[in-house]
Amino acid sequence: MTEKKRYSPGEFCWIELATSDWKKAKQFYTSLFGWTTSEMPMGPNEPPYVMVQNNGKGVAALYENKKAPTRWLSYISVSSADESAKKAKSLGAKLMAEPFDVMDVGRMANIEDPQGARFAIWQPKKHIGAEVINETGAMCWNELYTRDIEGSRKFYSGLFNWKLKISPEYTEAHVGDAATGGMIAITPEMGGMQPGWIPYFGTGDADAWAKKMKSLGGQIYVEPRDIPKVGRFSIGADSLGAVFAVIKMTASS
């Protein structure tokens, strides 16, 4: 477990679910992870913004948007949302939402990278992001699937000054000496998989998680399998179609 008081620029700091039915999504994830929630009113006749806690610590949020695809959005901490958004555009990205203030808690922008993967940047004010990471039920990794691995390496290292650890199968992104995320090339064997970031949550048992996912109406895309010297992971989608993953890290990871 890692409690966070601040995030360095370039670190993943938050994840947020846009879903077609907030009540069903809330029921799914509280049943799956044992999360608790607090609902923030968003106006008359509007669905609430739902903050998610894991063991009393804020780890994520969800909200209803019937006009958008159901999916998780990964946030990356920056020192200036305006400067980072401008730089992203210069590197070939599209701004899906120009920088804007979220009350007094932070400033953000929604971005689509040159390959079509979406993410958000977050300039923290009162809200730094997740209060805890790297524990069961909390964010522990974010992974990009891309059709142009070389292009993605160039884009993200240019935007966030990530240091890349490259192997034939995987690209690991570091902020200083700390690993923050990874990138993997979409292969023909993955079918029609679209470019995108997938958040990983910690789990105590990937096999039990996959079984419970199915019992709650979710789907499993990658059955539990081992990554040597890293851990055992699985990828699936919730009952409304949002893709995410879990991993049980090995003791030495």
pLDDT tens track for 99-147 = 999 999 999 999 999 999 999 999 999 999 999 999 999 999 999 999 9
Task: Tell me if domain 2-124 and domain 134-249 are identical in fold.
Answer: yes
Could you tell me the residue ranges of all domains in the chain?
Answer: 2-124, 134-249
| Per-residue pLDDT tens digits for 141-190 | 999 999 999 999 999 999 999 999 999 889 999 999 999 999 999 988 88
**Model pLDDT, residue 98:** 96
Q: Closest Cα to residue 101, out of 76, 124, 77? A: 124
Task: Give the whole-angstrom CA distance, residue 196 versus residue 113.
Answer: 9
Residues 49, 52: Cα–Cα separation, whole Å: 10
| Predicted pLDDT of residue 38 | 96
Among 43-47, 58-62, 147-151, 176-180, the range scoring the smallest mean pLDDT is 43-47
Q: At what angle do helices 81-90 and 149-160 cross, to 10 degrees?
A: 150
Structure tokens at 163: 């240091």
pTM: 0.95
**42/186 Cα distance (integer angstroms):** 38
Based on its alpha-carbon atoms, the radius of gyration of the chain, rounded to whole angstroms, reads 17
User: Looking at the domain 134-249, which fold is it?
Assistant: 2,3-Dihydroxybiphenyl 1,2-Dioxygenase; domain 1 (3.10.180)
Does the structure show a pLDDT above 90 at 90? yes
What mean pLDDT is predicted for residues 75-80?
98
Cα–Cα distance for residue pair 170/153, rounded to 1 Å: 11
Work out the average pLDDT over 73-92. Answer: 98
What 3-state DSSP class applies to 62? Answer: strand
Architecture of domain 2-124: Roll (3.10)
Cα 146 from chain centroid? 15
In contact, 169 and 101? CB cutoff 8 Å = no
Distance CA 46, CA 168 (A): 48
Angle at 170 between CA 153 and CA 143, to 5 degrees: 75
